[in-house]
Structure 1
Amino acid sequence: MSTSLMLFTRDLRIHDNPALAAACRADRTVPVFVFDDDLLDGPFAAPNRVRFLLDALTDLRGSLRALGGDLVLRRGDPVAEVGRLAHRTGATELFLADERSAYARRRLSRLREIGPKVTAHPGITVVPPGDLTPSGGDHYRVFTPYWRAWEATRWRPLAATPRTVRLPSGIRAGSLPQLDDLTSSATSRDLAEGGETAGRRRLLHWLEDDAEDYDTVHDDLAADRTSRLSPYLKFGCVSPREAAEAGPAGFRRQLAWRDFHHQVAAAFPDLPRADYRSRGHRWNQDEDALSSWREGMTGIPIVDAGMRQLRQEGFMHNRARLVTASFLTRDLGIDWRHGLRHFNAWLTDGDIADNAGNWQWVAGTGNNTRPGQTMNPLRQASRFDPTGDYVRRHVPELADVDGPRVHRPWTLPTARRHGLDYPPPILDLE
């Protein structure tokens, strides 16, 4: 009887999972997830993502058990743990999702040395990095031509969901750890529930209720009618390929941006650390201003609302991400890497390629064709939160301020006159 191993990484789902579908063609399949100590001990193990991951694995285990199998859990070096399982089960093939980060490529190279035949399948993005290349170049550096090529390409067919998963006998599945076993830090109070079940439910409700109006409402801060699928895409609880087929054109464009950043990061692995295009910036070293920005205490209401939403939900509206990032890098002149690290510490959807790509785009060091572009937060507030409801929702000190007046920077005397315990602006924008 043939035996295969299915190594889950960032594809925690059973629907449209090409690697899982291929693995289940064997007589017996060992689905496995390894808690990688190198990642758990590193800067990418944010508490919000660890909690979301545990939700996703709980849900994935339930789905696999419903198909007759189980999710085998191990902790340590993924290559060593997979090697032990291959030896124990006699597995001759290993399947996993095709990731292109520098870390994932090193892991794949090591996996190819342990014995079983290794096959990496698409599934992390709609179009894998490297599938689309411009003439005379290894990757697209500007989004618009990439978008045209992305729209014109033929996407892979959706993978069939396995009907059964047959696990070899005698394999100890292992127990899911508790959150406290993996992190000692607190998580956001209003963190979304993780897992494929929650993700598919979210996708279905969004398609039914909000997708039709996506192009006109996705920038409306107070409406909060974005898909909120980003953490489910980050962990592969929802297939980006399936979402692209189901969603409207404006949403497909956002998924293309995600793919674009992944192909940039694959070609330039230093994207989270080094300027993609150096502009000779001399960044300000202002620890007080940086601290005020992190805490949502800048005295600029629209900026503070975004930063507080981030801490409370482990999520920030995309328009607010642009506004807060522009304020840090353009108005305060602080290095984008400080912003990236803070976002990475809190965002449940903290995809390093997308996060770094967006930060560099805003800072003018990345793929922005208008590197001098700035976003005045007061004008952004007037345009995308005209009634002030987004600010009132996330900045309780201003909850009783009527209408768009909530967006004004409040000097200390004015704030006291209105009975507001809110800081004066750290920067004069008017």
Structure 2
Amino acid sequence: MEWIENGDLAFLKERKVEAKEEARLSVRTIIERVKKEGDAALHFYTKQFDGVTLDQLKVSAAAVEAACAHVPDEVKAAIKLSAKNIRAFHEKQMPASWMENTEDGVTLGQQVTALDSVGVYVPGGTACYPSSVLMGAIPALVAGVTRVVLISPPQKNGQIAAGVLAAAQEIGLTEIYQVGGAQAIAALAYGTETIRPVDKIVGPGNLYVMLAKKEVFGDVAIDSLAGPSEIAVIADESANPAWVAADLLSQAEHDRLSMPVLVTPSQVFAEKVEEEVEKQLRDLPRKAIAGSAIKSVGKIIRTADLDESVAIVNQIAPEHLELAVADPDALLPKIRHAGAIFLGMYSSEPVGDYVAGPNHIIPTNGSARYASPLGVESFLKRSSVIRYSADALREVGAAIAAFARYEGLEGHARAVEQRLKGEAKHD
């Protein structure tokens, strides 16, 4: 891991992963072909990229049932627990519509409504992420979205991973398609003969999925343009070096570009963590990936004190932040920019990934400065409600007309003045 002791955060400028023009052009080609050829393009690209020839794009209820039979009972129990906690947490986020009436005949309010349809993309192919199904779909269901579509690439056996289908079954998803990559994003955005388009696409994916989401944004809403995973740990000497090292590795194993960062005022503690990282890497199944991330992206930032540690972290704006200090509650009010904040020694980041309840689809690449984790509000929209009586309009009509004419919009002024003439009443 690279040591930084002078507060130099120049590495943040290199954090964003820039795609080569070749990749962008490839994604645009895929999207255009899906728009023109529909299902045929999906079958073509699934064969080309996944090495799978599909009989059909939609996953049948019988196939879901058969796949779920292969999921171990302890995993099904974990999925059920996770789904319960995620739903309970997100139900607390649900905002209410409101309406306010004044004595002079004005009604103002806000009507909250859910999106009609959402597509949840779940990565797959060589991996299995049932947690991504739960995190992407449950907030949409809580919000009241009536059509939640699951789409995920098939494995080499020609089927979506059984664990993904088990998570879908647990929360009642029935519209499931076995398509991945940029072609899946295009299908969700523009539709094909089999797949109807959706209003919003959420969920993580590889570089090509991210580029495809970027291309279709505007024609359809998206959650974010997610980058590699990040974790920052503020720690003092009260923390356990082995535990902190394990948490850094928990994110490093995601991707070679994942960014694990330790921020501490203690030289001795930092050295112990670095030793533990090397020790624990030896028998980590994904040690090649984690080791690459630790070596090329990992940082140890030594600070003068915990206040400087907080200042550094607020500049990093990490996806995940652990406060592994003696008094995490004292630091919490000072944290301004972090996607998810884990307090205390036992709040390991994987707790948030799986069972705590808050969403694990969290802003990356410093976007926690202005963005929030996926939540119920991500699937809602607000409509302003306005009603004026004749008397209320007379009170403000002249001001409206003056404002409109000052902006050069005579038609706006006349629209109000027509009503002020009193030629007809429609109260």
Calculate the TM-score normalised by the size of structure 1. 0.22
Whichever of the two has the greater Rg, that structure is 2
TM-score (norm 2): 0.22
* Structure showing the higher strand proportion among its residues: 2
